[in-house]
Structure 1
Amino acid sequence: MKTIGLIGGMSAESTTVYYQALNRLARERLGGIHSAELVIRSVDFAPIAALQAADDWAATGAILAGHAQALEAAGAEAILICANTMHLNYDQVAAGVGAPVIHIGDATAEALKARGVTKTLLLGTRYTMEKPFYAERLAAMGIETAIPEKAERERLHAIIYEELIVGVIKPASQAQVLAMIRAGLAAGCDGVAFACTEIGLLLDVDAMPAPTVDTAIAHCEAAMDFALG
């Protein structure tokens, strides 16, 4: 089994999902009491979030590239950036290491295609929904995207940053995001991408009214494919 390096902490809540999912997948695929070979660098998210808000993505990229290099030095044979938004820095991170950096968008596109989705509602932070880096990655793999209206995008961003990343789950927020999903499906989407690694903490992917991909889980599945390939 190859060793996977995780750049986590963005947020710590969803990094827990990565740790649990990767170990579950190792156990399911290998049987017995197998678990995943992992190295983790968990960053302090507050400075990262401040740089995001300041639109200083060069600075966030330098920070993540440094963490990737540390993971590689510690034995990581592939690296995961455990956050959708921070894939805005994918090229900078990938350029800084020799190990492959497994892109969450690629894993998401493959999972959507496996479910027969051709146009997905993209739910995530404001950065992920509004900046082109994520939609373009999916488009290159044949998946069209749509996003909620502006007021809904602002509300979803607030739910993520004010609630989910600090472990708060509110029924009212669940209802609001589900309403966004129903509106997106009514507008022509045939699937949903939880393109924020915390949304799977809020809603049950298997209970959605259309084929839905939890990007954190898809990312972990792609990583385990690599680790055992």
Structure 2
Amino acid sequence: MSKHIGIVACSAMGAALCYQTICTEAPAQMGEYMHPEVSMHTHPLAEYMNHIWSGNWSGVAELMLSSVHKLQEIGAQFAICPDNTIHQAFDLVKAQSPLPWLHIAEAVATEARRQGFSRLGITGTKYLMTGPVYHETLGRFNISSEIPAESDREKIDTIIFKELVEGVFLEESRLFFNEVILKLQNQGCEAVVLGCTEIPLLIDPLDCPLPPLDSTRLLARAAVREALKQD
């Protein structure tokens, strides 16, 4: 029997991609139409954003904990969160969580190490790019990182919150991301972290200047592996 996956969601598009990846990729290991049991809970994105805008990461943690308690009540055995930014509250959550968690940046770092990358560019919300989530996690894997210039970070953040989380994917935004990723390549980066769970819905891996590390799908695959692990 596989373990029951609990998804603590935040923004809809990234959470949906994570769920879809679990359900469509698991059959390769489990058999036709089979995947682990999956449950999801989310508070409105607006509630998260009110805390993020004010820098209230303990408030973010309270929302995440509220979700994980609900998921535990319906049988989830471990939790994942397909949102990079709110992982800034991860340590607060983990200390009080009734369930074990997988960390999205650890899933990315594990894949980066498997592929032999030692220097990564980071894209995501401005809170994610300048925050500790990837810088600290990658450091534990002896992987260095670079972030875009401030003006590029601001435009990326605007694209995420005004377009991607609303399900809007514009060609001009995709081309802008490619320009930023090319700059990261010129800074010596060997791959780029798609560190907002909606970015993989915009980026085309075939014309991306650097190999993309898709945090959404990497977390989903890690969850499937965990669900199938025999304790």
Query: Where do residues 90-101 of structure 1 align in structure 2 (5 Å cutoff)?
Result: 90-101=90-101
Task: Please name the residue that 1:79 is paired with.
Answer: 79
Cα deviation, 1:193-218, whole Å, max 9, x if unaligned, reads 10110100111235423222100111
Asked if the contact 1:5/1:39 (under 8 Å) is kept, the reply is: yes
1-structure distance, mates of 2:207, 2:115? 15
**Percent same amino acid among aligned pairs?**
29
Query: Where do residues 15-164 of structure 1 align in structure 2 (5 Å cutoff)?
Result: 15-164=15-164
Letter in 2 for 1:4: I
1-structure distance, mates of 2:216, 2:208? 16
**Correspondence 1:5 to 2:6:** yes
**Correspondence 1:197 to 2:201:** no
RMSD between aligned residues: 1.2
Q: CA deviation at 1:31?
A: 1.9
Asked if the contact 2:182/2:210 (under 8 Å) is kept, the reply is: no
4+ long deviations beyond 6 Å: none
* Structure 2: runs of 5+ lacking an equivalent: none
Cα deviation, 1:114-164, whole Å, max 9, x if unaligned, reads 222110000000011011232111111121110000000000000000000
Secondary structure of the structure 2 residue equivalent to 1:205 = coil
* Structure 1: runs of 5+ lacking an equivalent: none
Asked if the contact 2:68/2:98 (under 8 Å) is kept, the reply is: no
1-structure distance, mates of 2:142, 2:25? 27
2-structure distance, mates of 1:129, 1:198? 15
2-structure distance, mates of 1:88, 1:122? 15
Task: Please name the residue that 2:209 is paired with.
Answer: 209
Secondary structure of the structure 2 residue equivalent to 1:213 = strand
Q: TM-score, normalised by structure 1?
A: 0.96
2-structure distance, mates of 1:146, 1:214? 17
